[in-house]
């Protein structure tokens, strides 16, 4: 089975690692445990959060989604916890917070890695006591929510750098799920292409040439499934009957060496934005150099080593390191 359809949440995957994630999610979703989804942008964290809520016993109650990075820091507390009338100059009425709106249901806290440290202690207090107080209020109120959180980066790294509270991390990280990037589950690409093709062009039977499909499968997809969805939407809407390699955006038409160039740029961007550490950038590049060389050499390690100008033993060491890092 490649399509998982839980009450209108459609998840497409045939990838073994991803199916394992979903299998584990199915087991944990029925409990009350907090779930942390960790993955790059566009890997499907929000979709999985919806899936978790739909298959959980709370599915009849609301799922409230909060993008923590899009709420200005000074408004965060009153948005999450609500406020009393008169708490601020223009607070003319009492306002419920997002946690109260999620009462009996689930709350999806997206971009938890962006929460300011002062807010982290307030979140922790709420998670521990399951009671909250409106801003400007004097009485606390019990609120029953299930936490699903998402992060683009490994929170452990932020804990090490003292920008994320360790105690909050342990509360949220009860069951962590790392979601693999699309370039690590290339067997999902053609399935997703078919899915988005049907979704955006249901009336026409658009086909992709083999060469076009190969370019789609080979591309590193830094924006993951969201980027793939956008590309497929664009090309199938413009197509008459067939999508050829020439119909694809320029970055997808560039083969081999140039895709490495793009990868380097992407890694550098991740480094500048702070989503990858220096070490992670190097590991990612090395991993890609090694796996591309091996792929090009048809799996022949001696040939691959030679193409990189490495001795076979150094190549093997790096291959071992790279396969444990990925
Ligand atoms: N396995 C999948 N099957 C079908 N559609 C998917 C799958 N994974 C992701 N998508 C689609 O890809 C898009 C991006 O997914 P989503 O918004 O869940 O990613 P995200 O990890 O939350 O990204 P961000 O970190 O940028 O918020 C959505 O339109 C979603 O429906
Ligand atoms: Mg998201």
Q: What does the pLDDT look like over 5-36, one tens digit per residue?
A: 666 789 999 999 999 999 999 999 999 999 99
Q: Which atom of ligand 1 is nearest to the CA of 44?
A: 18
pLDDT tens per residue across span 304-314: 888 888 998 89
> Between the CA of residue 82 and those of 76, 98, 101, 144, 247, what are the distances in Å?
9, 7, 10, 15, 50
pLDDT above 90 for 272: no
Q: Which atom of ligand 1 is nearest to the CA of 152?
A: 25
For domain 183-257, the CATH architecture is Orthogonal Bundle (1.10)
d(CA 292, CA 314): 16
Instruction: Give the mean pLDDT of 128-150.
Output: 93
Any ligand 1 atom below 6 A from CB of 185: no
* CB distance 218 to 255 below 8 Å: yes
For domain 277-326, the CATH architecture is Orthogonal Bundle (1.10)
d(CA 322, CA 326): 6
Task: For strands 35-38 and 63-67, give the pairing.
Answer: unpaired
Any ligand 1 atom below 6 A from CB of 44: yes
* CB distance 184 to 219 below 8 Å: no
* Ligand lying nearest the CA atom of residue 19: 1
| Residue nearest (by alpha carbon) to ligand 1 atom 8 | 44
> Between the CA of residue 205 and those of 19, 108, 210, 239, 241, what are the distances in Å?
29, 37, 16, 10, 7
> Between the CA of residue 229 and those of 195, 196, 219, 226, 236, what are the distances in Å?
9, 6, 14, 5, 11
Residue 295 pLDDT: 73
Any ligand 1 atom below 6 A from CB of 9: no
Over the chain, what is the mean pLDDT?
88
> Between the CA of residue 202 and those of 45, 198, 243, what are the distances in Å?
26, 5, 15
Any ligand 1 atom below 6 A from CB of 43: yes
Count the helices and strands in the chain (H runs, E runs): 15, 11
Tokens representing 181? 């990037």
In terms of Cα–Cα distance, which of 35, 65, 29, 28 is closest to 147?
Answer: 35
Any ligand 1 atom below 6 A from CB of 180: no
d(CA 307, CA 300): 11
pLDDT tens per residue across span 30-59: 999 999 999 988 999 999 999 999 999 999
In terms of Cα–Cα distance, which of 237, 252, 245 is closest to 206?
Answer: 237
Q: Was domain 3-178 assigned CATH 3.40.50.300?
A: yes
Any ligand 1 atom below 6 A from CB of 45: yes
Instruction: Give the mean pLDDT of 164-175.
Output: 92
Alpha-carbon dihedral angle through residues 29, 34, 35, 41, given to the nearest 10 degrees? 130
Where do the domains of the chain lie?
Answer: 3-178, 183-257, 277-326
Largest CA distance in the chain: 74
């Amino acid at each position: 089975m490649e399509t998982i359809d839980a009450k209108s949440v459609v998840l497409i995957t045939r990838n073994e690692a991803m199916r394992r994630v979903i299998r584990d999610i199915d087991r944990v979703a029925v409990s009350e445990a907090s779930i942390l989804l960790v993955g790059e942008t566009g890997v499907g964290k929000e979709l999985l959060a919806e899936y978790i809520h739909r298959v959980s016993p709370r599915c009849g109650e609301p799922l409230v989604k909060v993008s923590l990075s899009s709420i200005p820091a000074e408004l965060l507390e009153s948005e999450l916890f609500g406020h009393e009338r008169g708490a601020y100059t223009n607070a003319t009425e009492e306002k419920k917070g997002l946690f109260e709106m999620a009462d009996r249901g689930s709350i999806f806290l997206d971009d938890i890695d962006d929460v300011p440290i002062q807010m982290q202690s307030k979140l922790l207090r709420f998670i521990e006591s399951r009671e909250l107080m409106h801003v400007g209020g004097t009485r606390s109120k019990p609120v029953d929510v299930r936490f699903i959180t998402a992060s683009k980066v490994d929170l452990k790294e932020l804990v090490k750098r003292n920008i994320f509270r360790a105690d909050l991390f342990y509360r949220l990280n009860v069951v962590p799920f790392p979601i693999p990037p699309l370039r690590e589950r290339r067997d999902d690409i053609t399935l997703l292409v078919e899915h988005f093709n049907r979704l955006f062009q249901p009336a026409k039977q658009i086909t992709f040439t083999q060469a076009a499909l190969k370019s789609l499968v080979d591309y590193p997809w830094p924006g993951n499934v969201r980027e793939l969805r956008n590309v497929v939407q664009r090309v199938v809407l413009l197509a008459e009957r067939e999508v050829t390699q020439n119909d694809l955006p320029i970055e997808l038409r560039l083969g081999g060496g140039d895709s490495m160039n793009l990868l380097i740029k992407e890694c550098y961007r991740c480094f500048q934005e702070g989503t990858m550490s220096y070490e992670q950038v190097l590991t990612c590049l090395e991993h890609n150099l090694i796996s591309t060389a091996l792929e090009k050499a048809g799996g022949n390690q001696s040939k691959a080593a030679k193409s990189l100008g490495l001795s076979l033993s150094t190549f093997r060491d790096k291959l071992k390191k790279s396969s444990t890092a990925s």
